[in-house]
């Protein structure tokens, strides 16, 4: 799945949507002015309209539509969490002991770690018995993922993985920002109808006097016109929303098959939607995904399946027919499955299947067969992006096994308790997650460690030094390659902190890093990741996009230079590569991938991390279709520097860690060479 192509297409669709929205606004403005002119001539018996007549009409309409859309989008500025709360979701705490919630979190964490993206906030829609889910957010840094209670109760672990993989496709393809814009624009059009309805309800009555009769007619005509045009505009907006949404569902279904390496995941979930729907309404299989909530209709295009009967309407359907989706997946017609509630160990009965709670093996699941040609047809490769790009964000069995080992859980002794390794328990609690982050930055030297302890002690609600050092000792028993993935596992718990505690934590981390008055590469990576993952407000995306590598040549060369330095074997302790010639060759090789000329980088004064950070921020603004080649240049540079004389080239672990940090900073999934390096570290083997 070429996510960068899909992201570029999502941006094009957003621009096309804005143009269509502008045309719709123009149409409403023109019709309102035409009708208003005829009403004025009829009531006032005057063919000359007052000054600013058309300006006033136009200003009111534009203010209602554009202002309403802007207000709604601003209300959603908090990102995915705001949408999930609007849908009635309850956030699942990272340290939950509920078995079903723990299973859902494990599935989401596995998918996020394997794909190399930030762990989303996870919500449950408790009062929804249908099987459904959605992902929402402005970008991959502020994603929320919501799953209905019915999905948690009725889906096996493999089926739940398929649903989560479907939603991760929307995350990686850039569909979420488009969905939020659609929500805002439809709301703006609805404002016109609401204002017209308000005018009709407040039309002056004739008892106020005959001379006000003409004014009352104008008032009534204005209200009726706005009401009808508002409903027409809202219907057109919903039609556009439905058309865009239907196109994305086939692609997300195919992506889910690619992610999980099996069709029975997402396929089984869709078949159970049909089975549950037949139980509810024998004539409507789609009813199995219905969600009963006041906001469900507004958010219908976010969901895995239709949320109500209106969303199944032929013209306004936000999803393709269920039977058609299944036929695309399986290549033939298939029957629906019974959606029984899966036993969770409480009040167990013999006729219910056991809850699949233990972590399963992705690679042992049934593979995609040749019958899946329809799926392959949905995801043909594009000549715009090289094959390297098609592999980005595609976790294979090795990456998935690594994520499973990171998060493997033992079978619970009781349904209400979960046995987790102590270090993972700490990562799921806000208070202990802070101590764990401090432990990963804790110095070996006594004086520096004492200064770090003083810095932590003056923060808000500081963890005890003994607790930090206990986690430090535990971390020392595991490979260092675990620390960046472990930081990703800590992120959801850290995000639960109140704003003042989060700000205090980030300031304390900065002081802990500066305690030895130097900045190491590891500390720079932690600093970059924490700032990216824990930003106070979501970044709505830079206004400027660079379509040319030449515009960022010095920044790209700067990043490649550092990458060559950290990847080169036998580097000295000073900030100068051990073998300058090898590093220079690696940088030139990377620049050649982008057809850029070699550029001289002065490393005599050492590597300036602030310059690297500024360069990364500008590279983040590369157009989506330009990022794959940039990542390919980075991987090529690291491979040349890591193994200059070997036929079989392989990244060093430190180079893979820096590339993981870089991908997070520029908001892209991991390339295969990086994710496989973490997988081959064979961390946390049991």
DSSP string, 407-445: H--PPPSSTT-----HHHHHHTSHHHHHHHHHHHH--SS
Quick one: DSSP state of residue 175?
H
| Average pLDDT over every residue of 351-373 | 36
SS3 617: helix
* DSSP letter for each residue of 231-261: HHHHHHHHHHHHHHHHHHHHHHHHHHHHHHT
Instruction: Tell me which residue of 540, 533, 551 sits closest to 484, measured CA to CA.
Output: 533
Among candidate residues 424, 430, 428, the one with its CA nearest the CA of residue 405: 424
Q: Tell me, what's the pLDDT at 236? A: 83
Most confident residue range from 353-367, 582-596, 644-658: 582-596
- pLDDT tens digits along 497-508: 888 889 899 999
Mean pLDDT lowest among 186-195, 394-403, 422-431: 394-403
- pLDDT tens per residue, range 599-610: 766 554 456 888
- pLDDT, mean of residues 332-352: 67
Reported as a single tens digit per residue, the pLDDT across 515-561 is 988 888 888 999 988 888 886 554 444 456 788 899 899 899 999 99
Instruction: Record the pTM.
Output: 0.74
| Upper half-sphere CA count for residue 477 (Cβ side, 13 Å) | 8
Domain parsing of the chain, residue ranges: 3-80+178-257, 82-168+265-388, 422-533, 549-680
Segment 176-227, tens digit of pLDDT: 777 888 888 888 888 888 888 888 887 766 545 555 566 677 778 778 888 8
Going by CATH, does the domain composed of 82-168+265-388 fall within 3.40.710.10?
no
Q: Answer yes or no: 110 catalytic.
A: no
* DSSP bridge partners of 136: 144
The one catalytic residue among 167, 249, 264, 636: 167
Strand order through the sheet with 121-125: 90-91, 121-125, 144-148, 133-136
Among the listed ranges 1-10, 144-153, 339-348, 562-571, which one has the minimum average pLDDT value? 1-10
- pLDDT above 90 as % of the chain: 17
DSSP, residue by residue, 107-118: HHHHHHHHHT-P
* Token representation of residue 570: 């036998």
For residue 152, pLDDT over 90 is answered with: yes
């Amino acid at each position: 799945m070429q996510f960068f192509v899909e992201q570029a297409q999502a941006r094009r669709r957003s621009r096309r949507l804005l143009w269509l929205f502008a045309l719709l606004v123009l149409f409403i403005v023109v019709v309102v002015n035409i009708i208003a002119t005829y009403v004025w001539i009829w009531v006032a018996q005057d063919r000359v309209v007052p000054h600013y007549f058309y300006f006033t009409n136009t200003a009111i309409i534009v203010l209602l539509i554009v202002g309403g859309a802007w207000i709604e989008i601003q209300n959603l500025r908090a990102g995915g969490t705001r949408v999930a709360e609007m849908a009635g979701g309850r956030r699942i705490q990272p340290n939950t002991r509920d078995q079903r919630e723990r299973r859902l979190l494990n599935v989401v964490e596995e998918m996020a770690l394997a794909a190399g993206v930030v762990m989303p906030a996870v919500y449950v829609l408790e009062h929804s018995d249908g099987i459904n889910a959605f992902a929402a957010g402005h970008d991959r840094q502020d994603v929320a993922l919501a799953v209905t209670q019915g999905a948690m109760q009725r889906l096996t672990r493999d089926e739940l993985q398929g649903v989560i993989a479907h939603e991760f496709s929307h995350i990686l393809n850039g569909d979420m920002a488009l969905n939020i814009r659609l929500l805002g624009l439809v709301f703006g059009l609805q404002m016109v109808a609401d204002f017209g309805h308000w005018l009709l309800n407040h039309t002056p009555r004739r008892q106020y006097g005959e001379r006000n009769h003409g004014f009352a007619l104008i008032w009534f005509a204005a209200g009726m016109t706005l009401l009808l045009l508002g409903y027409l505009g809202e219907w057109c907006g919903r039609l556009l929303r439905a058309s865009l949404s239907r196109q994305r569902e086939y692609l997300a279904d195919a992506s889910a098959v690619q992610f999980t390496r099996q069709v029975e995941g997402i396929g089984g979930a869709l078949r159970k939607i049909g089975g549950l729907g037949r139980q509810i309404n024998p004539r409507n299989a789609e009813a199995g995904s219905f969600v009963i909530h006041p906001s469900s209709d507004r958010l219908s295009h976010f969901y895995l399946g239709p949320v109500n009967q209106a969303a199944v309407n032929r013209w306004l359907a936000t999803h393709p027919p269920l039977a058609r989706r299944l036929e695309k997946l399986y290549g033939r017609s298939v029957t629906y499955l019974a959606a029984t509630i899966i036993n969770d160990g409480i009040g167990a009965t013999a006729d219910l299947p056991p809850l699949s709670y233990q972590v399963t093996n992705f690679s042992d699941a049934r593979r995609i067969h040749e019958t899946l040609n329809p799926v392959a047809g949905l995801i043909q490769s594009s000549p715009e992006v090289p094959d390297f790009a098609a592999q980005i964000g595609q976790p294979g069995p090795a990456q998935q096994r690594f994520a499973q080992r990171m998060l493997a859980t033992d079978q619970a002794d009781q349904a209400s308790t979960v046995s987790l390794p102590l270090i993972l328990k700490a990562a799921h609690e806000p208070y202990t997650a802070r101590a764990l982050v401090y432990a990963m930055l804790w110095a070996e030297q006594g004086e520096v460690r004492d200064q770090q302890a003083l810095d932590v002690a003056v923060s808000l609600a500081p963890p005890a030094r003994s607790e930090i050092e206990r986690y430090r000792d535990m971390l020392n028993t595991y490979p260092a390659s675990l620390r960046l993935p472990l930081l990703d596992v800590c992120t959801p718990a850290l995000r639960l902190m109140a704003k003042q505690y989060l700000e205090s934590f980030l300031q304390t981390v900065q002081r802990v890093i500066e305690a030895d008055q130097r900045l190491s590469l590891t500390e720079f990576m932690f600093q970059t990741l924490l700032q990216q993952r824990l930003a106070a407000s979501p970044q709505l995306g830079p206004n400027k996009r660079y379509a040319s590598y030449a515009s960022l040549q010095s920044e790209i060369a700067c990043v490649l230079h550092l990458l060559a330095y950290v990847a080169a074997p036998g580097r000295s302790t000073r900030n100068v590569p051990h073998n300058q010639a090898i590093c220079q060759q690696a940088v030139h090789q990377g620049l050649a991938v982008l057809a850029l000329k070699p550029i001289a980088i002065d490393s005599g004064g050492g590597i300036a991390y602030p310059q690297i950070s500024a360069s990364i921020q500008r590279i983040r603004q590369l157009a989506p279709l330009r990022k794959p080649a940039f990542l390919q240049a980075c991987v090529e540079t690291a491979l040349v520097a890591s193994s200059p004389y070997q036929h079989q080239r392989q990244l060093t672990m430190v180079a893979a860690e820096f590339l993981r940090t870089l991908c997070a900073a520029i908001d892209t999934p991991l390339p295969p060479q990086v994710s496989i390096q973490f997988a081959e570290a064979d961390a946390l083997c049991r």
